[in-house]
Amino acid sequence: MSWKFFLYDWGGLNIALFQAINTGTPAALGPLAWFFSLVGSYWTAPLMMLGLWWWSKSATDPARGVAVLHRLIGFSVAFSLALLAATVVKLWLDFPRPSAVLGDLVRVVGDIERHYSLPSGHATYAALVVGALWPLMGRRGRIGLVLYAVLVGWSRIAAGMHFPADVLAGWGLGLSCTVLTGRLLPLAATVWQWARPTSTWIWFAVAASAVMTDQLAKFTITRTFAYGEQVEVTPFFNLVHVLNPGAAFSFLANAGGWQRYFFITLGLVVSAWLGRMLRLQLPRLEAAGYSLILGGALGNVADRVLRGQVVDFLDFHWRLTHWPAFNLADVAIFLGAFCLIYAAMSRKAVIKSS
């Protein structure tokens, strides 16, 4: 007998519990299952972040506002870790969904899915919400959070999308990422305070880390996926393997080949300027922004030198509307630009108040 029989199948109990919940749920509760699948979806993460941000700004007690802001930061980091971990586990194990195992015996609410059952993304997200809000709530609020997580897990089983083991694994993953984030953020804060504006090597290390992370992800995609292959990870996120000879949004993609050398030259010139900026005594947030943009730029330049085209693999979509595929280098550039914009806005606010 394999480890899966004991740890996942539970000797047949996993399927038995699924059938008891799925077939035992009255059809009248179908809308309730749909609703909690909706509020337990990753798609509600922006609303969660916006709500925490508004709460931090509207709090009358400054200490309370700071506490809520810390939970917002922790939730954002834990969410990113959980999404990455869930994606890796889903692709690695590729456990079948209930519809693939039991066929017509499953009552499905929504579209039928057959792959990547473990872990339940909805249960993972529900656990992240619970972990973020738990320190901010009183006794009644915490009871409500537990009830929310339980109902989200129940909804995925009642809707025929996941087995109970998938739900438990999702709860465990979400809470683990929350705990891990709680351990990492104090360390990151210590490094952030230690990184003085004159510590140029730290910012070049950040840029190098961004390049290595991006290239490792692209290497994994090119070795694992056939060109043009698409794998659904969540209802709104796919992993793909596409090549872009142009710039963002396929700009100059059909230019005939000369654009490769143009973008390599442009990327190197911009990178040289960014490196020069990092040698100046910049505030930490600005230095972080320039270092992330430098890492992202060099990541895409490396693609054009090694492959002739940029590898894109992150595909976010809503139904049939897809955002243009992008990669981790693009994410680093976006985050770097956000840091610079935020630093500029903060500096302007300080000038106005003085």
Give the strand order in the sheet containing 237-244.
Answer: 230-234, 237-244, 310-318, 321-322
Q: How far apart are CA 4 and CA 13, in angstroms?
A: 12
Q: How far apart are CA 55 and CA 25, in angstroms?
A: 37
Query: Which amino acid, residue 43?
Result: W
Active site residue: 214, 303, 312, 315, which one? 312
Smallest Cα–Cα separation from 129: which of 208, 47, 22, 21? 47
Does 9 qualify as catalytic in the annotation? no
Assess contact for 179 and 82: CB atoms under 8 A: no
Active site residue: 166, 214, 303, 330, which one? 330
Does 166 qualify as catalytic in the annotation? no
Query: Which amino acid, residue 44?
Result: T
Assess contact for 244 and 315: CB atoms under 8 A: no
**Residues with a known catalytic role:** 312, 330
